């Protein structure tokens, strides 16, 4: 059974009262997306190799898939330069930047949770 992420991105297909929260979690969920987001938050465009170097343990296949999902969700923009060898840079879109306060809130909540559990 495969996971169909598109179902969670529409309240039409998911009429539960918390469908908007599920949609948001689907967009930022997973092991790598918030880590990728953190790399791109600095503001300057970042090349694929630089993202990869900042994320120890991620495979190129997984990084490519996560970047494509984030691009499809409108969080990042992929810019290809017609050079030899080709250069590709990623940066946050306006929608991606709007996630900053959510990211900071999650970070703060996580820090408090860890501190309380110690």
Q: Which residue in 64, 65, 68, 86 sits closest to 77, CA to CA? A: 68
pTM of the model: 0.82
Query: Going by C-beta distance under 8 Å and a sequence separation of 6 or more, which residues neighbour residue 75?
Result: 27, 37, 92, 93, 95, 96, 99
- For residue 33, the number of C-alpha atoms closer than 13 Å in the C-beta half-sphere is 20
Q: Is residue 3 predicted with pLDDT exceeding 60?
A: no
Q: Are 38 and 81 contained in the same domain?
A: yes
Q: Is residue 1 predicted with pLDDT exceeding 60?
A: no
Q: Are 49 and 14 contained in the same domain?
A: no
Mean pLDDT throughout 60-73?
Answer: 94
> For residue 14, what are the CA distances in angstroms to 59, 60, 82?
32, 32, 42
* Token couple for 109: 């909540």
User: Which CATH number belongs to the domain containing residue 42 in this structure?
Assistant: 1.10.10.10
Could you tell me the residue range of the domain that residue 6 belongs to?
1-29
Q: Are 23 and 71 contained in the same domain?
A: no
Number of independent structural domains in the chain:
2
Q: Are 19 and 42 contained in the same domain?
A: no
Strand spans (E) along the chain: 46-47, 76-81, 87-92
4-63: pLDDT as tens digits: 555 556 667 666 667 778 888 888 888 899 999 999 998 889 999 999 999 999 999 999
Per-residue pLDDT band at 66 (split at 50, 70, 90): very high
CA angle 21, 40, 9 (to 5 degrees): 25
């Amino acid at each position: 059974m495969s996971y169909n992420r598109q179902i969670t991105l529409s309240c039409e297909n998911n009429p539960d009262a918390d469908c908007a929260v599920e949609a948001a979690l689907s967009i930022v969920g997973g092991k790598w997306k918030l880590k990728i987001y953190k790399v791109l938050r600095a503001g300057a465009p970042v090349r694929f190799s630089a993202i990869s170097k900042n994320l120890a343990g991620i495979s190129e296949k997984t990084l490519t898939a996560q970047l494509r999902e984030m691009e499809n969700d409108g969080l990042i923009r992929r810019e290809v330069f017609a050079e030899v060898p080709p250069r590709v840079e990623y940066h946050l879109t306006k929608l991606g930047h709007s996630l900053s306060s959510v990211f900071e809130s999650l970070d703060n909540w996580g820090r408090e949770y860890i501190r309380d559990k110690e």
